[in-house]
Chain A
Amino acid sequence: EIVLTQSPGTLSLSPGERATLSCRASQSVHGNYVAWFQQKPGQAPRLLISGASTRATGIPDRFSGSGSGTDFTFTITRLEPEDFTVYYCQQNGNLPITFGQGTRLEIK
């Protein structure tokens, strides 16, 4: 099973700043099939990025992803108030599909 470790656990920033989230895999992810999800309280997760760097339909270009192998990065440029919530990385290149423990983005 691939273990995904997200860092930091909590990130405190201000609106307008840039957020950089990390996701490290315990072994190489097949095909770099890493996705990033946003989850707001009481809601289902929302797909932002798939295949490490492809934005999902309708996702603003201030959200981006990069990385390969075992190290992946998710970036939000110019934070908006609605961006302050929890983000998860997921690998779906190998079964079982696994998620990181999440990064909470909070307003500083």
Chain B
Amino acid sequence: EMQLVESGGGLVQPGGSLRLSCAASGFTFSDNYMYWFRQAPGKGLEWVGRCKTKAEGYSAEYAASVKGRFTISRDDSKNSLVLQMNSLKTEDTAIYYCVRDNWGMDVWGQGTSVTVSS
């Protein structure tokens, strides 16, 4: 069974940092672009960023709202995706989802909740 499991969410103060992890299983992780999306409470879905494959240099791209503050990385040997979030703002409060792209964003994790509040 293909599965993504996020971890690392929690409560952090504005200006703080948090590191989210995503553990993949049941598919060849290294073959796929991997994404982070988020959903603020009661709101719609927002793209955060993506990490390409080794063949494309593991390059990452980001939404304007997080560029310069968030960094996505991956470790194919551990089937792991990481979202490092720095300089957090209250508007970063959301559930964060790790997602596989396989000609469609077909596998989503259950999400991990991040709350930025003083």
| A residues with CB within 8 A of B | 35, 37, 39, 44-47, 50-51, 54, 56-57, 88, 90, 92, 95-102
Contacts and interface: CB of A to CB of B under 8 A. Distances in A.
A57 B104 CA distance: 10
B106 A57 contact: yes
Interface stretch (B19-27, B44-52, B83-91): B44-52
B105 interface: yes
Interface string B78-118: 00000000000000000001000101111011110000000
Contacts, number: 48
Contact of A98 (B47, B104, B105, B110): B47
B61 interface: yes
Interface of B: 35, 44-47, 61, 63-64, 97, 101, 103-106, 108-111
Contacts of B35: 97
Contact of A35 (B46, B105, B108, B111): B105
Contact of A54 (B44, B45, B104): B104
B106 A96 contact: no
A101 B105 CA distance: 18
